[in-house]
Amino acid sequence: MAGQAQAGEKECVQKGEWINSNVYEDNAFVLAFDKLGRGVVNTAFGVVEIPKQIVKRAFDTGCASGYISGLFVGTGYFVLREMAGIYEIVTFPIPIPEHYAPVIDPLLGYRPSDVE
């Protein structure tokens, strides 16, 4: 009987997919806590933007001045990510922006498709 119940259920997550609330139906409770989680991650790991931007700018410019500009750009992104994280933590129970959408993208400072 348990096999019949499992066979009849809709399979939400395909093999190899990330498990997150985006593959399930809209659920305000889950979306609110996703927003809280994004806020905590942005606040905890926002400092990673500084070395990321230093390396990125140095690689893009091909010279040492990229290290200097990367420091300033990374500091700016760090402040931006920290503020976005605090905003999402404070407002997590409120569906603003609509459907608890992320305030800053990408969540972790990079997209997996950007990594070579």
Q: What is the pLDDT of residues 43-99, one digit of tens each?
A: 999 999 999 999 999 998 888 888 999 999 999 999 999 999 999 999 999 988 888
- Prediction pTM value: 0.69
Rounded alpha-carbon distances, angstroms, from residue 83 to 11, 45, 76, 88, 108: 37, 12, 11, 9, 15
What are the extents of the domains in the chain? 24-114
Structure token pair of residue 71: 């420091």
Structure token pair of residue 24: 């399930």
Structure token pair of residue 92: 């997590």
Structure token pair of residue 64: 């040492």
| Beta-carbon-side half-sphere exposure of residue 43 (alpha carbons within 13 Å) | 13
Structure token pair of residue 107: 């969540």
> Mean per-residue pLDDT for 17-25?
53
